[in-house]
Amino acid sequence: MSLFLSAKAATTPRKLTRNRLGTVMSSLLIIAAVGCSDKSADATTNSASSIGGAQSIKADSVAKASDPAVVKSLQANLQASGIEETILSATPTDMEGIYWVTGEGLPPFFADKAGKHIIQGQIIAVGEPTPIDISAAFMADSAQQALETVDKKDMIIYPAVGETKSVLYAFTDADCGYCRKMHEEMADINALGIEVRYLAWPRSQESVPKMEAIWCSEDRMAAMNQAKMGADVQGPSCANPVQQQVELGAALGVRGTPAVFTQAGEQIGGYLPAAQLAAAVGIN
């Protein structure tokens, strides 16, 4: 489903901040596959990309140039409605008059050419033998670029055994049941040639101190292993990337854990058993 939010309708008695708009938009996103939501302990939700068997649009559509006129119009309309955001790009899609928009610290979204309407959700193109999700390639491209900026030293990495056949990024929370299920299978995942790079995604304020303690531990991997088994990990205070990674996840539309992305930026889960995870990345 898509949400059409006109600039006029978005006006409220108080000025909306970037965090306010980001919260509204993020709350409408769908948790992919199986995972823990940010509001409940464990939630099971089907991946949005599986609706109707829709396939991803060809990646060459992403190469279209941003339209500065649409960026300017959307920026002006947001400001007129009391919403302070920095719009970075507005790329034309295969749907006439509809643009894929990226903003600073915001999940990407669609907008019309006049910059008067924000469209949150999927747009499915039909009429061909296979329905096409026109947002998938744009989402993957944005995610790939963002994930490539994360320094390896700021992640907790479980390397593949032998040849590295695939690399996955996983936003995780020490207190999430499905994250723990994924972690229980880490040895099997690594044995299949998959490297897993953990990023912090505490689902509540209560989980933040534990995640920070893990990232501040001298042996992060050992601390993560203990936390995934339910231990109350303690650690010294330090400068850590937890909040930065939370903001990164929000910009990528993450709302639940584990949120698993390929190196190409495609979100494939959600918790998946090791064998299914391997199949999802093309490992037989």
The catalytic residue positions are: 173, 176, 179, 203
Closest to 41 measured CA to CA, from 255, 284, 203, 259: 203
Residue type (1 letter), 128: E
φ/ψ (deg, to 5) at 263? -65, -25
For residues 74 and 111, give the distance between their C-alpha atoms in angstroms, rounded to a whole number: 8
106, 251 contact by CB (below 8 A): yes
**CA of residue 104 relative to chain centroid, distance:** 15
Kindly state the tokens that stand for 57: 């649009």
78-93: buried (b, 16+ CB within 10 Å) or exposed (e) per residue?
Answer: beebebebebebbbbb
